[in-house]
Amino acid sequence: MTAPADGGSATDPAGATADVDLDELGRLAVDLAERAGEAIVELRDGAVATTTTKSSPTDPVTEADRAAERLIVDGIRRARPDDTITGEEGADHVGTSGLEWHIDPIDGTTNYVYGLPAYGVSVAVGRGERMLAGAVANPVAGELFAAVAGRGATLNGDPIRVGRPVELSAALVATGFGYAAERRRGQAAVVAALLPEIRDIRRMGSAALDLCAVACGRVDAYYELGLNRWDFAAGVLIAAEAGARCTDLGGGPPSTEFLVAASPELHGPLTRRLVELGA
């Protein structure tokens, strides 16, 4: 077989992994997610008092979101000064290496503020839309999900896989809602139509953890409209490496427009139904 002209290979057609040390990227993502996870737990009591809002009156941010992002950015800048960095709390560093880090310092900030234990730190690095390494830490549960492209996904170091095949009517489906009232009206209508047709809905409050739940079979699928890339960059890699199919509504790569992640057998029926419902 002839290698693609851009230096890629049959399994990596775009050459996204050429000239990168995947082990180094994977270790750095894990280390930073773990350290930021410890920091947000330590900071929580004081940080909750600093809660303000961002994109809408229901979109919270705390001093811990900003501190965790600083910790992660400093770690990347020290280890890999030439990489681009984008983060939810404003990190926006343009590098020259062709690799970009996507940081969500606290995914599930509403849960964090209320003391619900479903929040995490999400760190991923990729080339363009192709993620190469990612980690999601849930510090309260003591869970660290991680993946490196082509090498599978792990939970606390043990390999994980998506759940067994299920019909749509028996599927446990996670989803989430944006912060804008008008968007929520549409999302609520889709959930209202879907709920009687499936096993049940879960709204756990962290897209990154929802994707990790797909990866280890705790839910059968997850979908959401209008996420930011930092919400899903690590989780999509982890879910895909665990055997999930992750796309937008048209079967293309997951995007900030729409994301569906499901076990391969469920992905088609769920996506078709979401399209019918105008999701």
Residue 241 contact among Ca ion, ligand IPD, none, beta carbon within 5 to 8 Å by kind? none
Q: Is 133 in the site for ligand IPD (CB under 6 A)?
A: no
Q: How far is the CB of 207 from Ca ion (least distance, A)?
A: 6
The tokens describing 124, both together, are: 């991923």
User: 55-87 burial by CB neighbour count: b if 16+ within 10 A, else e?
Assistant: eeeeebbbebbbbbbbbbbebbbeebeebbbbb
Q: How far is the CB of 171 from Ca ion (least distance, A)?
A: 24
Taking the least distance from each CB to ligand IPD, the nearer of 68 and 160 is: 68
Taking the least distance from each CB to Ca ion, the nearer of 107 and 210 is: 107
Taking the least distance from each CB to Ca ion, the nearer of 83 and 107 is: 107
The tokens describing 132, both together, are: 């190469």
CA dihedral 63, 65, 71, 73 (to 10 degrees): -120
The tokens describing 146, both together, are: 């991680």
Q: Residues 215-254: x/- map of binding to ligand IPD (CB under 6 A)? A: ---------x--x---x-----------------------
Strands (E) in the chain, as ranges, are 52-53, 60-61, 84-87, 92-93, 100-107, 120-127, 130-138, 143-148, 153-155, 158-160, 172-175, 200-202, 221-225, 245-247, 258-262
Q: Is 138 in the site for ligand IPD (CB under 6 A)?
A: no
Residue list 88-127, contact with ligand IPD (CB under 6 A)? 88, 104, 107-110
Taking the least distance from each CB to ligand IPD, the nearer of 162 and 234 is: 234
Q: Is 69 in the site for ligand IPD (CB under 6 A)?
A: no
Give the residues lining the site for ligand IPD (CB under 6 A): 88, 104, 107-110, 176-178, 205-207, 224, 227, 231
